[in-house]
Amino acid sequence: MEKKSTKGWLYLLPALVFLGLFMIYPLVDVFIYSFEEGYNFTSQTYFGIGGYNYSYVLHDPYFLRALKNTFILVVITVPLSTAIALFISVGLASLDKLRDLFQTVYFLPYVTNTLAVGLVFMILFKKTPYTDGFVNLILGAVGVNPIDFMEGPYWAKMFVLCFYTIWVVLPFKILILTSALCSVNKNYYDAAKVDGASRLRIFTKITVPMISPSLFYLIITGFIGAFKAYSDVVALFGTDLNSAGMNTIVGYVYDMLYGSSGGYPSYASAAAIILFAIVLTITCINLIVSKKYVHY
Amino acid sequence: MDNSENFKKIEKAALRRRNFSKALTVILLSLWGLAVLFPFYWMCLTSLKSYGSYNSEYIPKLFTLSPTLENYITAFNSVNLARYFGNTIIFTVVTTLLMLMVTILAAFAFSRLNFKGKQLSFTLFLSLMMIPNELVIITNYVTITETNLRNTFTGLILPGVASVFYIYLLKENFSQIPDELYYAAKVDGTSDFKYLWKVMLPICRPTIITITILKVIECWNSYVWPRLITDDKDYYLVSNGIQTIRESGFGRENIPAMMAAVVAISVPLILLFLIFRKKIMEGVARGGTKG
């Protein structure tokens, strides 16, 4: 037994070393950083221990704006993307021949580089002196005046960001919901039809309850993902998010850590922990709610 | 007679209604398909337009009659796109191989071997899955900077090697292999390592392939960590490359060349996806997360 024990740990050793160095130690360290006041990156000294970093971050107008942006993004994209994904999946599940083709097409955004495609979106929406851009061309056809989406009003920028975010997150949601829908036993539908139930009633009383576990899984992961939005935003508005007024919480963390405004790991840590606390709270609420509504 | 005619009529009406709703579904789905495909079409199209013709179109055209490859030449010549590709390939291959090694060994230990503290350590392992990357990246950045590993492949690769989720996925798969096989191999005097190599890995090949592909996609698209850890252009990955191209690259206005770079970066993954479509979608459904 003694010899076997060593052997087991030996096989586990590489994973333990990597996880210890790059996950467990940082996890402890980030809490320590967040309480060290006035930490200096170059000399690695600090003045004292306390909650100053948290209060600094919470009073920083940049952080407050990042918080606001992130919340707007979450509140708009999570319900909307889940609803759209649900409708598309219901449509997909009702097809037989074309389903494979549509699924393949819908999945494409998942495998593409967010930064690269974000650039394409930027160009489609951008209004320059040379051209109003493709989106404005379409809007013009229905009689809307050209809008400067990338450098114009806040709501226009937010619209582009929400649109792109939904475009990026839909493939995953459609995939999960379609496979959930296809695994629902057909007998339930047949029984409902025999009883003369309307399609809406079948949808709300059979379909949604049957796939509720997947639906809640998507809502929970959707919230977590949307709170951590960053790469999509950089793809659209460039790395200087503060001047574009479109920073997110994660963007704030990285700005504090690195770049022209960087060098403050303590502030970054405090902001990251605040983010983690928010996500944890929301996830707990989601889990409590899902206990009430998810069947099985 | 009357009845059967009525029956036919009703059936016809029902069929028509069903066909109508089916057609409507297909049309609506096609619309979203168009929205998905359009950016890809647009980037290919723009990358084929010449600089002059692109800029002279106040109203962008949806096709081009004189496609040109000059943008691709510009893209590869005026920034070191080939180098970014090379870097990304090295980064992806090494990270994935190391990850596979670590994952296979750990999954084997958890599923096949018995040792003291196995249950406890596995539980701790699982709880690590909940830790968001944003929380640990700060210290990792400090660690890598302090050990002078910035702008090296070592610094880029090391933090991404161990993945709790893949270990869990593979462990579940390993555990499905019947014990009898192991005992039979033991009676024949096979060593544990040989059993892992010759029996378990071939049986679990589908899962290994899934993990590999998911990791490759993750590596190819990674942006945040490479950006933090490299500021020397010699070590840029494609994502960072694209960002530099955008912010300084070929002058902000040469959009066709930008699009050529975007196409070049997107094509490898799209090809990979089209080849391993089933595997990738299966794997993601089982445990990918994004968004």
- Asked if the model's pLDDT at residue A1 lies above 50, the reply is no
Tell me the mean pLDDT in the region A175-182: 90
pTM: 0.91
Q: Give pLDDT, residue B68.
A: 86
Residue A13 within a domain: no
Q: Which of B113, B136, B223 sits opposite A4 (nearest CB)?
A: B113
**Assigned token pair, A13:** 């050793």
Q: Give pLDDT, residue A295.
A: 66
- State the smallest CA–CA distance between residue B235 and chain A in angstroms: 17
Closest CA to A216 of A17, A81, A82: A82
- Asked if the model's pLDDT at residue A224 lies above 60, the reply is yes
Contact call for B228 and A119, based on CB within 8 A: no
What are the residue ranges of helices labelled H in chain B? 2-48, 51-56, 70-78, 81-111, 118-128, 133-146, 153-157, 164-175, 179-187, 192-195, 201-203, 205-221, 224-229, 238-247, 255-275, 277-287
CB A101 within 8 A of CB B37: no
Tell me the mean pLDDT in the region B81-108: 94
Confidence of residue B252 (pLDDT cuts 50, 70, 90): low
Tell me the mean pLDDT in the region B67-84: 87
Tell me the mean pLDDT in the region A25-41: 85
pLDDT in tens, B167-209: 988 998 999 999 899 999 989 888 888 999 999 999 999 889 8
Q: Give pLDDT, residue B291.
A: 34
pLDDT in tens, A105-151: 999 999 888 889 999 999 899 887 777 888 888 888 888 888 888 88
Which of B20, B29, B200, B236 best tests the A interface by mutation, with the highest count of A CBs <10 A?
B29
Reported ipTM: 0.88
- Asked if the model's pLDDT at residue B290 lies above 70, the reply is no
Q: Which of A133, A170, A231 sits opposite B223 (nearest CB)?
A: A231
Count of the separate structural domains present in chain A: 1
In A196-235, the residues whose Cβ lies within 8 Å of chain B are 221-222, 224-226, 228, 230-231, 234
- Please tell me the distance from the alpha carbon of residue A281 to that of residue A227, in angstroms, as a whole number: 12
- State the smallest CA–CA distance between residue B1 and chain A in angstroms: 26
β-strand partners of A48: A37
Residue A6 within a domain: no
- Asked if the model's pLDDT at residue B288 lies above 70, the reply is no
Contact call for A102 and B142, based on CB within 8 A: no
- Asked if the model's pLDDT at residue B289 lies above 60, the reply is no
Residue A36 within a domain: no
| CATH value at residue A176 | 1.10.3720.10
**Assigned token pair, A235:** 């793809």
CATH superfamily, domain at B81-249 = MetI-like (1.10.3720.10)
In chain B, what are the domain boundaries? 81-249
What is the DSSP annotation of A59-100? H-HHHHHHHHHHHHHHHHHHHHHHHHHHHHHHHHHH-SSSHH
Residue A163 within a domain: yes
pLDDT in tens, B1-57: 567 788 888 888 888 888 888 889 899 999 999 999 999 999 999 999 888 888 787
Domain that holds residue A106: 63-293
Q: Which of A41-45, A83-87, A198-202, B245-249 has the highest mean pLDDT?
A: A83-87
**Assigned token pair, A97:** 């021949």
Helix (H) or strand (E) holding A48: strand A48-49
